[in-house]
Chains A and B, each alone.
Chain A
Amino acid sequence: NAGVTQTPKFQVLKTGQSMTLQCAQDMNHEYMSWYRQDPGMGLRLIHYSVGAGITDQGEVPNGYNVSRSTTEDFPLRLLSAAPSQTSVYFCASRVAGTAYSNQPQHFGDGTRLSIL
């Protein structure tokens, strides 16, 4: 079982560069989300999606874009990287819908991003 797969695991960027963090899940989960983890701040929601073609903003969406063209994939794009976006990024997924809101999310192992 692959679960949630994130690539790359590590990345160093220069300020102003763009890149895409990849996330794929093989559990047929409708709900997918991106979080960033910073020391002392826990996990903060960036964007989320409840199904293909549907995305919405979380707590800290500025500087990030997402799209959801398939159920399996939910890439996160940094259009112009800034040092403040240095963080560890986690993708997560679960079954969507009110009846499943009590279901736990499955997390990838993260992408460690450093922006110089």
Chain B
Amino acid sequence: AQSVAQPEDQVNVAEGNPLTVKCTYSVSGNPYLFWYVQYPNRGLQFLLKYITGDNLVKGSYGFEAEFNKSQTSFHLKKPSALVSDSALYFCAVYYGGSQGNLIFGKGTKLSVKP
């Protein structure tokens, strides 16, 4: 069965430090992987995706993610965290043939302190 795991409920980082939000997946075939961010009282916003090609994917707001097929991981990273990065982050994997449904992880709350 297809699944996505985000092993950390919360990640705490000091402003200016690098951040990593972890995601592992289980999917048959080649995965389509996504990261979304959710700010308080808002819907999810797309950050980046991996479809094929370069394992390092760059996205919005300075975020990037590294696809690792052998470890079935797709960790979200940023070299220097900002307080404004504090939000809920969701990893998701596509499944389902032509209908394209997403399975979401449970989310990781990122807290960046000044």
Contact = CB atoms under 8 A, between A and B. Distances in A.
Interface of A: 4, 31, 33, 35, 40-45, 48, 50, 56, 58, 90, 92, 94, 96-98, 100-102, 104-110
28 contacts: A4-B43, A31-B100, A41-B106, A42-B90, A42-B105, A43-B44, A45-B102, A48-B99, A50-B98, A50-B99, A90-B44, A92-B43, A92-B44, A94-B100, A96-B99, A96-B100, A98-B97, A100-B100, A102-B49, A102-B94, A104-B34, A104-B46, A104-B49, A105-B46, A107-B44, A108-B43, A109-B41, A109-B42
Interface string B89-105: 01000100111111011
Given A4-B43, A42-B90, A90-B44, A105 B102 contact: yes
Interface of B: 9, 32, 34, 36, 41-46, 49, 51, 90, 94, 97-102, 104-107
B94 A90 contact: no
A68 to B, nearest CB: 13
Contacts of B9: 40
Nearest to A104: B46
**Max chain A CB contacts within 10 Å: which of B94, B97, B102, B105?**
B102
- Interface SS majority for chain B: mixed
Contacts of A44: 104
B35 to A, nearest CB: 10
A41 B100 CA distance: 21
Nearest to A41: B106
Contacts of B106: 40-42
Contact of B98 (A40, A43, A97, A102): A97
Contact of B99 (A56, A90, A105): A56
A29 B54 CA distance: 29
A110 B39 CA distance: 12
Contacts of B101: 33, 45, 48, 58
Given A92-B44, A102-B32, A104-B34, 16 more contacts: A35-B104, A42-B104, A42-B107, A43-B44, A48-B101, A50-B98, A58-B101, A94-B100, A96-B100, A100-B100, A101-B32, A102-B49, A102-B51, A102-B94, A104-B49, A110-B43
